[in-house]
Structure 1
Amino acid sequence: MISHCAWRYFRFPLSFREVEELMLARGVIVSYGSVRRWCAKCGQAYAGALRRRRPRPGDKWHPDEVFIKINDELKYRWRTVDADGTVLDILVQSRRDKAAAQRFFHRLLKKTCSVPRVIVTDRLHSCGAARREVMPSAGHRSHQGLNNRAENSQQPTRRRERARKGFRSTGGAQRFPAAFRGISPHFRPHRHLMTAPGYRTEMTIRFTIWDQITGAASRSTAA
């Protein structure tokens, strides 16, 4: 039940109460408070297990930042995706200057254990200045239209924010995208590049992996 709630919550832009109503329609009685606590407890663990099964990121990275409001305070959510659109890391900070970009790049290199061949950014100068100090061997391309891949990766989280009516704290703005970026892509393969039979086969494999990670497979075997 926990894994089913977490899957519904992180795959679709639903609120906790909408998940509760969705579960009730299927005969499962659970409060939205329980769904919230389950997702906070298990979401990051599930996302981490999925990330460990993925291949190494590509060598072309797209960093980007967007502003969000938390309790009427302006914050910036930094995000980096590779050439395949896989989100590498997310960090919420109060600034977008050179020091903030350096902090994000150091965290990114530590988490991925790799250095990109090139990074593509918009016209934010702090990214270029931080790149010269943190990743001097990486190339840099800066143009507003070249970073659409990173801009598009922000859209699912933006939709989720609207459903939740925003975030109440910096920690909440950090925790949810960190889990969302790990779980949601697992259920969203590149459908437009697949045939219908191939898509069904791929989704069957991904649901099997999900059951293994959440422990649903072992519970069904024991039953």
Structure 2
Amino acid sequence: MPRLIALTVPAARFWWHRFGPMFAAEIRKRRIEGMRFSRWRRHLDESFVTKTRDRKAALKFLRKSMRRRGRPEVIVTDKLRSYGAAMKEIGAADRQETGPWMNNRAENSHLPFRRRERAMLRFRRMRSFQKFAAVHSSVTNHLNRERSLSSRDIFKTNRAAALAEWRQLGAA
């Protein structure tokens, strides 16, 4: 009969901290290797999440992105000139594609964030805005259910459960 081993929370935490980064690195490496196929394209937008959107910020963003996910065959950007300067410095100017409507995939992916950003123009520091946006995203995702994804009864049930949980959190 096999012996059962009791696993305590501190032991699990120890093993997680010791071996978790190695597992994550291996998963990331395999993901990168699996993504290397002939027509791999990356769509980028000028949201570097920095105060400036200059060549230095674009260069830092591109290097970090390529280190994490590998070198793409084609990089689709808008016509922001800092991308061109950064691409020349990296040596990938021939891989850049720009044009009208080519980068709609990247532009449309962050429209909800842009909407929140426009509403929160009174923030003086990027850090305080990012803190607010992180909390706001969690609360918004919790309370705003997509009506078009489910039937009316399921939507009302889910919304009632979310409101009950929100009221419970507020009462604590």
With the length of structure 1 as denominator, give the TM-score of the two structures: 0.39
Larger-Rg structure: 2
Higher RCO (CA-CA < 8 Å; seq separation 6+): 1
**More helix by percentage:** 2
**More strand by percentage:** 1
With the length of structure 2 as denominator, give the TM-score of the two structures: 0.48
